[in-house]
Structure 1
Amino acid sequence: MQQVQIAGISWYKRENFDRLRAMFKDGHKLHDTYDEWLAAAESGRKELEKRGVRVICVDVDPNEFPAWCASQGLELNAAARNRFASERAYQFVMGEMGENVP
């Protein structure tokens, strides 16, 4: 059986970027503008795909993400964003494959 490597990456909508950046504890480490962030994110996504990784871009919603972090006891930071994206990507892929997959 061939194994497929999957990566969930945090993705932001233009209209939410500034709001998210302000709420993240490490928001100052993100790019200053959405366009700068998007260029870097697209570059990273393409690099992963070149290596054969299936990339799933997971929208980080400014209403949903803080509630999810609170329910998990996490701060709003990169570690939480990575975990959120990984969990959502896993849920997406499992939904694609059906419930009978171990």
Structure 2
Amino acid sequence: MSAVVEAVGIPWYRKRDYERILSIMIDRAQLPRSYDSWRFRAETLEQRLTASGRHSVRTVIEPKNFARWCTANRLKANAHARLLYIEESLREEPQRHRR
């Protein structure tokens, strides 16, 4: 029997979507301007989590789906909404996060 490992979700963006992500996020000033800078920060966070013994999961945020989800949930597209979106995604697919 495998135990459920509490995963830390990390928002993950595809390079082709990054400009669109920036355009829909109301807190875009808090995000790196370039995809490469964002990816470096995200991978650094993954490494820190792994080094501390925590399991991280990349959760792709697709701009159109995220915008629809925010509208449906009456949320502004910001860091708070991204965290809620990731939490929901992890709850919907717990089998992916077993070890």
Relative to structure 1, the CA distance from residue 95 to residue 31 in structure 2 (aligned partners, 3 Å threshold; closer, same or farther) is closer
Residue ranges of structure 2 left out of the alignment (5+ in a row) = none
Task: Look up the match of 2:37.
Answer: 36
Whether 1:46 and 2:44 are equivalent positions in the alignment is no
Q: CA deviation at 1:3?
A: 6.5
Whether 1:73 and 2:74 are equivalent positions in the alignment is yes
Task: Look up the match of 1:100.
Answer: none
Deviates more, 1:2-11 or 1:57-66: 2-11
TM-score (norm: length of structure 2) = 0.87
What SS does the aligned partner of 1:4 have? Answer: coil
What SS does the aligned partner of 1:56 have? Answer: strand
User: How many residue pairs were aligned?
Assistant: 97
TM-score (norm: length of structure 1) = 0.85
Identity across the alignment (%): 26
Greater relative contact order, per chain length (Cα 8 Å cut-off, separation 6+): 2
Task: Look up the match of 1:9.
Answer: 10
Q: Deviations over 1:40-76 (max 9, x none)?
A: 0000011111112111111000110011111111100
